[in-house]
Structure 1
Amino acid sequence: MKAAVFHKPGSPLTIEDVGISKPGPREVLVRTVAVGMCHSDLHIVDGMLPYPGPLVLGHEAAGIVEAVGSDVRTVKPGDHVVTCLSVYCGHCAHCLTGQMTLCESPETQRGAKEESRLSYLQKPIPQFVNLSSYAEQMLVHEHALVAIRRDMPLDRAALIGCAVTTGAGAAINTSGVRPGDTVAVIGCGGIGLSAINGAALAGAGRIIAIDMVDSKLELSKTFGATDVINPKNGDPVQQVLELTKGGVQHAIECIGLKQTAEQAFAMLTRGGSATIVGVIKPGIKLELDPLALLQGQRRIQGSRMGSNRFPVDIPMLVDFYMQGRLKLDEMISQRIKLEQINEGFDELRRGELARSVIVFDQ
């Protein structure tokens, strides 16, 4: 199959032939239809997150099931599916207590003595976050995907596999936004826009979008933002405090910078929570006001993939889209071919677009 191969940081990805195995007992072979381009992949391409090559990146995908293993019970050939990197075993302590995104069971991957799912130049290569979706096909554990209704457009469904599940989930699941709450979202890329949409779905009374790009702020209003702030016009924390007369109950950081993470905590009202979604460079330490933490009972927390229960959440989000309540069409800035993937990464670096989606020929 054709795939975009990452070799080393700073070098463009190359379109090459990559070998793919046949489904094992609990594995599913999927023909990739669409895959979104995410900053998590860019962090590896640019060397911020160290990862050895060669490697096939990509993790935000939708496709059609081509074949299933003998023990697969959740999907069948012909099903339309969305993948999710938070693959789960289903019976560890995390899974049984509803924290499926924290599952670390190795049984969802092939063992060291088994044939690798992917190979390059006839040598085994690792699979990126259980998916490796910048390719014409994916071979995954059955708990790395979920079937969806067939009238859902797959180029839009792909976004639900990461950006939407992560952003909307950060608001609904991790932050626990309730009707009437006040929310600030820092960063209006794909994940930030999804967090805004998720806060709106949860019934937030006021949603403040914060970004340096005016066009993204304007777009955020379509997703549910009631107020917008551009840090170019002054300290965003001070702007939020003045706008809300004391701070927000929930701040969701979707960029991944020390400064913005600290700002998220600083703009909280008493009892508020700051949820960090953006990937901060390893080794960076955050500085927080201890009095605000203790006396104000403010909290700071991480959110992995929106604390999702994706077999339930993804079909629900698909329904929200079909009802017109989840905005996906507006999030797609451009559709490109796999051969244009390096151009897509250039757009990610510029930070001017919401989401680029790679669409495979059908």
Structure 2
Amino acid sequence: MTTAKIRSAVLAPALAVLVAALLCAVALLVSGDSPLQAFGVMISQLGSGTVAVDTVNSAAVYYIAALAVAIGFQMKLFNIGVEGQFRVAACMAAIVGGTLPLPPVLHTIVIIAVAALSGAAWVAVPALLKAYRGVSEVISTIMLNAVATGLIAYLISTDTFGQLEGNNITTPPIAPSGWFPGLTLGESGTLFGMILVAAVLGVGYWFLLGRTRFGFELKASGQSPTAAAAGGVNARRMVLIALLSSGAVAGLVGLPELLGRDHAYTLTSPSGYGFTGIAIALLGRNHPVGIALGALLWAYLDKSAVALDVVGIPREIVLIMQGLIVLSVVVAYEVVRRVDLRAEQRRVAEAAPVAPRPAGVTS
């Protein structure tokens, strides 16, 4: 890796985090709180209780969501419907897993397959509209997020597949044969087993898009559909593959918690992961390692909000920091890009041969 690439990969995100921390420190001073106390609490809380394990578990969920977004980004497609896709998929997987008796392992595989297929099916309409009618995937996917909310409310109502549990409505619980076993670390908590699936997805994403002809054609279609078509690439087919793959990965977002902790889908099941995935994909620049670091940072900041509450510091400072990090990353990468461009221009100018003067010409 060249020095310029290392600078772009390391310096830009580090600069963004530093700038975001400085701006948050200013916000804390304005509000009358101590930045040193706030940052000290955020750092010290990582070693207490189950915070470290909870951070990794949340990061796995964020990582899968960001990968789903990044697949679309690689082809200049903005799948803003990851939120609806993962929620519908989690609901369908919970219903099938809770009503279909199967032996261990096979039960878990079926639940994962149902989730992936449900996510892909939910994005199929926007994919077809984009490929054959040029309809913006941003509009169609975000509209389907609202439809997903209504569909889920119908599916888990007591008139369909839901059942009343206290003040909550839930799908039938998934039997232990369908659970994805995790790694118990004693008092520190239990790591979700789906972390392994997230890691496999990351490796597959890196290999498929960065080391195969298919990945090259996918990105080429996003850069210039006309040029890709001239090279024999079916851009329409690539749009369908990219969005369907994005939807399939999005369908797995809810499974770490569904198969590792909750074992049912309820009215109070977590939401918002799809939109967080967009921010993390931007933070990680669509690179699997960058996305992993971004997911860990985001999850760590989420857990820090609770610790700040305990000492009387507004937890909203975490939201401010998360937003500032995303904005700072965009600015930092642009600054580093321009520095690299100017350095390259200077190198080219210095390496260019000096044209000899014509005979008889004096200065």
Q: Same fold (TM over 0.5)?
A: no
TM-score normalised by L of structure 1: 0.24
TM-score normalised by L of structure 2: 0.24
Give the greater-gyration-radius structure (CA): 2
Q: Which has the higher helix share?
A: 2
